[in-house]
Amino acid sequence: MPRNIKVLIVDDSAIVRKVFKEQLSKQHGIEVIGTAPDPYVARDKIVKLKPDVITLDIEMPRMDGITFLKKLMKYYPLPVIIVSSLTSKGSELALEAISIGALEVISKPCEAYSVGDMSIQLAEKIRAVYGARPIGRKLGGQKKISDKVMNSGALAATTNKIVAIGASTGGTEAIRKVVTRLPGNFPGTLVVQHMPARFTTSFAQRLNEQCVMDVREAKNGDTITNGLILIAPGNYHMLLKRSGAVYFVEIKNGPLVHYQRPAADILFKSTARYAGANAMGIILTGMGKDGAEGLLEMKKAGAVNIAQDETSCVVFGMPKEAINIGAVDYISDVDAIAGKAVSILEAG
């Protein structure tokens, strides 16, 4: 039988440590082997207990989580899930942690997330990052990187096209690699990244600093136009809608789908319904099945779909599921997806 995934919880809050330990102990295949109130205690327990995964608070006394994470990635790299408060500062720190090498982020239990939902999502994230190799990545940057953008003069006529992207574990970097290479006249693009509420606001702002296209967190009723990327807000599903020739998005609550909200399947299925053959679907790194069924519906409706290849994925779950059920037309390295998308759309 496969052994349990060994987890170390690092958080200065005794309540959070207690809740996480109690809830995770109910999850099959996961064993909390220890807790630590600060990075100094965590350092000793990592050496002694050899955890498979660490959950890490980033706002702690004595040594902050970012400083500790940098040391950890340098000397003892492990899969790390960041635990952050739902604040602007917490969101920025979480994205910085991901740029250093953390693989996932989850919010501390609060009114927006019941303890039950949180424990299920945390368990799923632990399973997702288990065995993944942490890689330091660069999310920051204040300059739009137009020198890396795909040039296209043939996209101006694609006013009725829609591109839908779904991603999870490792997706923040994969999305960045795709969208920062897209030209300013690329069709309106909708993005679902499994991420908690408020974190998507900071994520959209960071991408907007790097992209030629405009990037923002979606609001209910936003019209979709060429040159615009809309990021689904954390804890809300995003659907494509259409009124005459105008595409717009609906932002709504609803049950978790594949343990996620927002869910890629919700976006993809609505895109299949309202855009049909005018759509393109892109599925990127992530654990689980989210997006596969919706992508298949898109293909049946005439859309062209691209999946990230296994080599460039942090977790090859979502793309693999989509490929296995025949929902994908092209499989591509993440660095080549933007070019592939532009060439397909140019060909009409």
Same domain, 160 and 264: yes
To the nearest whole percent, how much of the chain has pLDDT over 70? 89
Shared-domain flag, residues 109 and 201: no
Domain range for residue 249? 146-347
What gap in Å lies between CA 88 and CA 107, rounded to an integer?
Answer: 12
Given 194, 237, 309, 332, the catalytic residue: 194
Same domain, 109 and 197: no
- Whether the pLDDT of residue 61 is over 90: the answer is no
Q: How confident is the model at residue 347 (pLDDT cuts 50, 70, 90)?
A: confident
Residues 173 and 312 in one domain: yes
Q: Do both 163 and 98 map to the same domain?
A: no
* 139 in a structural domain: no
Last residue of a domain, one of 129, 162, 186: 129
Q: Catalytic annotation on 332?
A: no
Is the model's pLDDT at 111 over the cut of 60? no
Q: Which residue has the tokens 């996961």?
A: 30
CATH number for the domain that contains residue 239: 3.40.50.180
How much of the chain, in percent, has pLDDT values that exceed 90?
Answer: 67
What confidence category does residue 140 fall into, taking pLDDT thresholds of 50, 70 and 90?
A: very low
93 shares its domain with 205: no
- 82 or 138, greater pLDDT: 82
Is there a domain that residue 141 lies in?
no
By the 10 Å C-beta count (0-12 exposed, 13-18 middle, 19+ buried), 107 is classed as: buried
Does residue 96 share a domain with residue 215?
no
Total domains present in the chain: 2
Backbone angles phi and psi of 85, in degrees to 5 = -80, 155
Is 290 assigned a catalytic role?
Answer: yes
Residue 22 belongs to a domain: yes
Q: Region 40-51: what's the mean pLDDT?
A: 96
Q: Which helix (H) or strand (E) segment is 78 a member of? A: none
Mean pLDDT is lowest, of 15-19, 33-37, 54-58, 326-330, for 15-19
Closest CA to 264 of 246, 241, 286, 242: 286
Residue from 168, 202, 270, 332 carrying the catalytic annotation: 168
Q: Is residue 284 part of a domain?
A: yes
Distance CA 269, CA 272 (A): 5
pLDDT of residue 109: 67
Does a structural domain hold residue 41? yes
Listed in sequence order, the residues at least 6 apart from 244 whose beta carbon sits closer than 8 Å to its beta carbon are: none
pLDDT class for 132, splitting at 50, 70, 90? confident
Two tokens, residue 283: 């599925």
Helix (H) or strand (E) holding 344, with range, is helix 337-347
Same domain, 121 and 150: no
Q: What is the pLDDT of residue 138?
A: 44
Q: Report d(CA 103, CA 106) in Å as an integer.
A: 11
Residues 149-199 have pLDDT tens digits of: 555 555 545 568 999 999 999 999 999 999 999 999 999 999 999 988 888
Q: Give pLDDT tens digits for 2-11.
A: 789 999 999 9
Domain boundary among 97, 129, 161: 129
Q: Which residue has the higher pLDDT, 99 or 289?
A: 289
Predicted local distance difference test score (pLDDT) of residue 309? 96
What is the mean pLDDT of the segment spanning 74-87? 86
One-letter amino acid at 89 equals: K
- pLDDT over 90 (residue 120): no
The tally of CA atoms less than 13 A away on the side-chain side of residue 113 is 26
User: Which has the higher per-residue pLDDT, 294 or 196?
Assistant: 294
Distance CA 324, CA 19 (A): 38
CATH of the domain at 103: 3.40.50.2300
- Average pLDDT for 288-299: 97
User: What was the pLDDT predicted at 151?
Assistant: 57
Q: Is residue 200 located within the same domain as residue 278?
A: yes
More confident residue, 251 or 75: 251
Among 129, 163, 178, residue at a domain's last position: 129
Q: Which of 38, 52, 265, 290 is catalytic?
A: 290
